[in-house]
C-alpha cells in the first residue's frame, strides 16, 4: 500500500499542478475561452481561486507525508482534491460545449481511493 499511495499522491499532485497552471496562465486556450465567455466577468476571479487551491492541494498531497508531518494534512488534501474535482465536473458540464468529464471522473475515483487508504492507514 505504501507505494500505491505514493504513486496516487504523485499522479494527483502533478495533475493538480498542471491544471492550476492551465487555469491561471493559459486562459487563451479555446476551451477555456468558451467557458470564460459563457460565465462572464466572474470567471477570471473564480479561475484564480481554483488555480490557487489546486496548487496548494498539490503541495499538501506530497509535503506532509514526505516531511513526516501530521498524517491528517494529507487526508485533508485528498478530501479537498475530491471536492475540487467534483466542482470541476459541475463547472465543465455548465461551461463547455462538449465536456469531457470522464477524465475528471477517473481522477475523482482515484482521489477517493487515496483518501480511504490514507484514513485506514493514517499513521502512514
Report pTM. 0.78
Helix (H, G, I), strand (E, B) or coil at 106: helix
CA angle 86, 11, 35 (to 5 degrees): 40
Q: What is the pLDDT of residues 52-67, one digit of tens each?
A: 999 999 999 999 888 8
Per-residue model confidence (pLDDT) at position 123: 57
For the chain, the domain total comes to: 1
**Can you give the pLDDT at residue 15?**
92
- For 8, the grid coordinates are 496516487
For residue 25, which of 50, 62, 58 has the smallest C-alpha distance? 50
Burial class of residue 59, CB neighbours in 10 A (0-12, 13-18, 19+): middle
Check residue 32 and report its DSSP letter. Answer: H
The reported pLDDT for the residue numbered 17 is 92
Residue written as grid cell 481561486: 49
* Residue 23 pLDDT grade (very low, low, confident, very high; cuts 50, 70, 90): confident
Amino acid at each position: 500500500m505504501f507505494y500505491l499511495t505514493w504513486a496516487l499522491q504523485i499522479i494527483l499532485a502533478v495533475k493538480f499542478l498542471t491544471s492550476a497552471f492551465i487555469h491561471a496562465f493559459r486562459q487563451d486556450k479555446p476551451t477555456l475561452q468558451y467557458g470564460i465567455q459563457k460565465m462572464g466577468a466572474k470567471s477570471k476571479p473564480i479561475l484564480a481561486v481554483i488555480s490557487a487551491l489546486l496548487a496548494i492541494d498539490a503541495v499538501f498531497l506530497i509535503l506532509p507525508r514526505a516531511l513526516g508531518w501530521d498524517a491528517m494534512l494529507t487526508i485533508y488534501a485528498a478530501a479537498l482534491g475530491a471536492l475540487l474535482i467534483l466542482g470541476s465536473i459541475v463547472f465543465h458540464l455548465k461551461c463547455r460545449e462538449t465536456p469531457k468529464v470522464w477524465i475528471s471522473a477517473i481522477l475523482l475515483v482515484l482521489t477517493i481511493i487515496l483518501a480511504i487508504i490514507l484514513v485506514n492507514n493514517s499513521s502512514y
